[in-house]
Structure 1
């Protein structure tokens, strides 16, 4: 038997909406394709149901609804979200040099620069 290996989770960017002000349950449900669910007593909406890859899950007030890398949606508790995610940085790639480049070459250079940044390099 071989020894266990160590792995680090790849950094990925996700989209998420917070089930809290200023977002309403209706807005979050529209975004993720979920359904607003009332509390059963007053009919006041307090959560949404989302059809996930693991079945129907419920997002409660204060939860984050995450859009995963494959386009799937699922709820995440606030404390877990804060431990797992941080705001994504916005990076600007500036191409300098020949202004005679065609769109295809510019696209290749942008893709090359993006791969470099994902590997930990600086975009500048």
Structure 2
């Protein structure tokens, strides 16, 4: 078996809970269509309707914009194990 290491790339991401929703995520929602699910006036989740499947972004997930512009959710524990913040780049 051959082992592989993930290439060091930088991605944009935000925590879908405390941070403002960036334009690139809003653009993805508008491009593919989306549904929001609310509870007591707060958005609990957003479901983007991609051509192949629907993807749900839950409150507390990190939302990642990949190197090809793709947008996908990531569990906070996995995100913290996989990514380090790039300092001085906000």
**TM-score of the pair, normalised by structure 2:** 0.72
Paired residue for 1:121? none
- Structure 2 regions of 5+ residues with no counterpart? none
Alignment: residue pair count: 83
- Give the 3 Å change call, closer, same or farther, for CA 44–7 of structure 1 in structure 2: closer
Instruction: Determine which structure has the larger strand proportion and give its number.
Output: 2
Would you tell me which structure has more helix in proportion to its own residues?
1
Render the CA deviation track for 1:60-108: whole Å, top value 9, x for unaligned: 11101100111100011111111111112459xxxxxxxxxxxxxxxxx
Task: Give the structure 2 partner of residue 31 of structure 1.
Answer: 24
Residues 69 and 6 of structure 1, relative CA distance in 2, 3 Å threshold: same
Query: What is the CA distance between 1:38 and its match in structure 2?
Result: 2.0
The separation in 2 between residues aligned to 1:53 and 1:70, in whole angstroms, is 17
* Relative contact order higher in (CA < 8 Å, ≥ 6 apart): 2
Structure-1-length-normalised TM-score = 0.55
1:21 aligns with 2:18: yes
Q: Which runs of 5+ in 1 are unaligned?
A: 92-124
Q: Name 1:6's counterpart in structure 2.
A: 3
Q: Retained in 2: the 8 A contact 1:48–1:58? A: yes
Provide runs of 4+ in structure 1 moved above 3 Å.
Answer: 41-44, 51-54
Shift of 1:7: 1.7
Aligned to 2:69: 71
In our comparison, the structure showing a higher alpha carbon Rg is: 1
CA contact (8 A) 2:35 2:48 kept: no
